[in-house]
Chains A and B, each alone.
Chain A
Amino acid sequence: DIQMTQSPASLSASLGETVTIECRASEDIYNGLAWYQQKPGKSPQLLIYNANSLHTGVPSRFSGSGSGTQYSLKINSLQSEDVASYFCQQYYDYPPNTFGAGTKLELK
């Protein structure tokens, strides 16, 4: 099975700052990668799929990039409503659809 290593585990940033979260796959996943945002007590929400495609309704300050085994989620101009946990998920290898351990983003 493909392993997903997500970093950092937690992150503190200021309003307006640019934040980057990374995910590394144990082998090439050919852009089969999604990013989700989960606020406390809520279900995850899709942000990015196919490594760099923005899901409907997601603000353009979110972007995804990467290829091969290395992928990243960037949040430009951090807003208070972006405080959440973020998870990556690979869906190239089946089974299973593997999630990263998550990154908890807080305001500084």
Chain B
Amino acid sequence: QIQLVQSGPELKKPGESVKISCKASGYTFTDYAMHWVKQAPGKGLKWMGWINTYTGKPTYADDFKGRFVFSLEASASTANLQISNLKNEDTATYFCARGGSGLLSRSYFDYWGQGVMVTVSS
């Protein structure tokens, strides 16, 4: 069955960096885009961008340009999200989600990881 398994919760200080992983199984990794979605505590969902798992090209939503990096370890069917220079407002749960439309940028999200809670606090 299709699964996206993410790494565990993180507690970081402002200014530090964090790397979150998302390991896919049950399908051909390079046939579907991987998207990233942020959910601040008690808030709604915000799309961060996506990575083309075939070419490795990342695309970032406007609010996530600069400190956010999407990457792949395609041989391990894993997508990664790295956030540098962490700020208090980065405290949130970060989800990876498979693009149901294949490698298209405009897509619904048919399978989701369990989410990673990142807490930024001094």
B112 touches A45 (CB 8 A): yes
Question: A59: which B residues are within 8 A, CB to CB?
Answer: none
CB of B54 within 8 A of chain A?
no
Q: Secondary structure of the A side of the interface?
A: loop
Given B45, B100, B101, B113, which contacts A99 in the complex, CB threshold below 8 Å?
B45
Given contacts A43-B115, A44-B95, is CB(A96)–CB(B47) below 8 Å?
A: yes
Given contacts A99-B45, A102-B44, is CB(A43)–CB(B112) below 8 Å?
A: yes
**Bound CA–CA A93/B105 (angstroms):** 10
Given A42, A44, A93, A99, which contacts B46 in the complex, CB threshold below 8 Å?
A99
Q: Which residues of A contact B (CB under 8 A)?
A: 32, 34, 36, 42-46, 49-50, 55, 87, 89, 91-102
Q: Which 3 interchain pairs have the tightest Cβ spacing? A: A34-B108, A43-B112, A49-B108
**Can you list 7 residue pairs at the A/B interface with Cβ under 8 Å?**
A44-B95, A45-B112, A96-B47, A97-B106, A99-B44, A99-B47, A102-B44
